[in-house]
Amino acid sequence: MEEYTPKQAADFLEIGTETLKKYALLLEQNGHTVHRNARNHRVYNGTDIALIKAMITLNRDKSVTLEHAASIVTSADTDIEEIIGKNGRNGIQNGIHTAVPTVTTLQDNAWMEFYNSFLMELKGLKSENEALQLLIVENTEKHVQAFQEVSSRIDNQAKIIEEQSKAIAEQSATIAELHKRLDEAARKKPSLWARLFGR
């Protein structure tokens, strides 16, 4: 027997999945077994859905409490077709296949909404990324320009220091030459004693 997800079964019955879970629990408390998949999640077949449909019908049309309705529909002598009608039973057994595409369509629509939302978010992130990259490039250019300016100043200062060092070296050489000449002149010039006594 084909099995359906809680979402498919709930959509077919036009109830929420939490309400479906509540009905399934009432059925299980009255001895009916709703199968579970490998992940221990309930899956619903045509019989499960027919019983829940009968519960809903009894509750809505006969004002029977859900707890009492669950005990009625799980009783062996209860005719489910009589409660929901033969057409309703056939609709559940056979027509659910026509409901599944509707569920699938709903799922597809939900997926498309999610996908479009994801694309919009992705575009927003792309724009933010481009803005950040532009900011990084601008900051990098500023830092490069600042580095080049500092390097240029350092080079200019190095040239000035080199020129000043050369000038100092030249002045030192000139001073040394002057000292040398003064020493030579001093040696050649007769002393005061020699000039006085003619020596």
Give the span between the Cα atoms of 27 and 109, in whole angstroms. 32
List pLDDT tens digits, range 147-183: 888 888 888 888 888 888 788 888 888 888 887 887 7
pLDDT at res. 114: 67
Distances 115 to 119, 160, 173, 178 between C-alpha atoms, Å = 6, 66, 85, 92
List pLDDT tens digits, range 95-137: 454 444 344 444 555 666 767 777 778 888 888 888 888 888 8
The full set of domains in the chain, from first to last, is 6-94 (1.10.1660)
pLDDT at res. 23: 97
Q: DSSP letter at 62? A: S
pLDDT at res. 45: 94
Answer whether residue 66 shows pLDDT above 50.
yes
Considering the entire predicted model, what is its pTM?
0.47
For residue 68, how many C-alpha atoms fall within 13 Å in the half-sphere facing its CB? 8
| pLDDT mean over 3-12 | 94
Give the span between the Cα atoms of 168 and 164, in whole angstroms. 6
Q: pLDDT band at residue 193, thresholds of 50, 70 and 90?
A: low
| pLDDT mean over 138-155 | 83
| pLDDT mean over 30-46 | 95
pLDDT at res. 194: 65
Answer whether residue 21 shows pLDDT above 90.
yes
Structural contact between residues 73 and 54, judged by C-beta atoms closer than 8 angstroms = yes
- Return the percentage of the chain with pLDDT > 70, whole number: 78
